[in-house]
Amino acid sequence: MKLLSYDIEIYNEIPENGDLHEVIPSVAAIGTTENDVQFFYDEPYMTKKTSKVLVNKMMDYYKDGYLPWGWNTVSFDFRLLAYYSGMIEECSILALEGIDGMLHITFNKGYYLGLDTALIGAKLETKLHHVQLKDGTMLDGMSGMLAPKMWRDGEIQAVMDYLRVDIVQPLKLVFAIEQNKGIKWTSKAGKPMFVGTKLMPTKDLFKLPEPDTSWMDSPKLRKDFVNWIPKEILKKYNIRV
């Protein structure tokens, strides 16, 4: 299986209403291996022209047999890129034909699972939480929530270092999932957890039976992950939401 890891960081914070139409990307990256990571960015933030270049580049990889891969890419990364670039159809195809590791948990269990939790469960190094700033000091506790302000403050390299690991570690996670024949993690209560699954495109996850979410207060509905995709495209994939 040929995979193209994808992740994106943002320039401004997500508004309280969660509307990604108002969010501007700062930098994105794609990669096929640890030694093949490409960045897409401008200063002070990614231009719409660059966002279109990114979409077209991913489409080229897709046509060459690579499947987009990431963690929560359907609901966030591709949605954001679709809104910003205006290339809704292309981003919809990449999202539905691609593989979203988190959705394998959500569609089987009904809840989210963080990438760090999955990486730890696979006995891999986590996301990058320590980055070097321009003045040479080290910042502990780095996260995606800090990335927008850091980028605006000119900490470009630190954000790119963080993003690079978000490209590379998911690629390593793939091998662990294939070897374990599923995704392992430990619950907050310390209980070993496991979802036996093979990695499959998002379009195929919709064929899975719905999990029991009656015990959850506000379960996220499957349609909420793809409600940004035009209905005519969902119909082509026999996805009914």
What single DSSP character describes residue 76?
I
Position 118 scores a pLDDT of 98
Residue 153, number of CB atoms within 10 A of its CB = 12
For 22-74, what is each residue's pLDDT tens digit? 999 999 999 999 999 999 999 999 999 999 999 999 999 999 999 999 999 99
Q: Supply the DSSP string of 164-233, one letter for each residue.
A: HHHHHHHHHHHHHHHHHTEEEEE-TTS-EEEEE-----HHHHTTSPPP--TT-SSPPPHHHHHTTS-HHH
Q: What percent of the chain has pLDDT over 70?
A: 100
What single DSSP character describes residue 72?
S
For 206-217, what is each residue's pLDDT tens digit? 999 998 888 888
Q: What is the pTM of this model?
A: 0.95
First to last CA, the chain: 29
What single DSSP character describes residue 45?
S
For 133-182, what is each residue's pLDDT tens digit? 999 999 999 999 999 999 999 999 999 999 999 999 999 999 999 999 99
Residue 36, number of CB atoms within 10 A of its CB = 13
Q: Which residue has the tokens 């979802």?
A: 195
b/e code 80-101 from CB counts within 10 Å (16+ = b) = bbbbbbebbebbbbbbbebbbb
- Strands 25-33 and 3-10, bridge-based pairing: antiparallel
> Which domains does the chain carry?
3-236 (3.30.420)
Residue 218, number of CB atoms within 10 A of its CB = 6
- Tokens of residue 18, six digits: 């969660």
- Strands 3-10 and 67-70, bridge-based pairing: parallel
Position 218 scores a pLDDT of 81
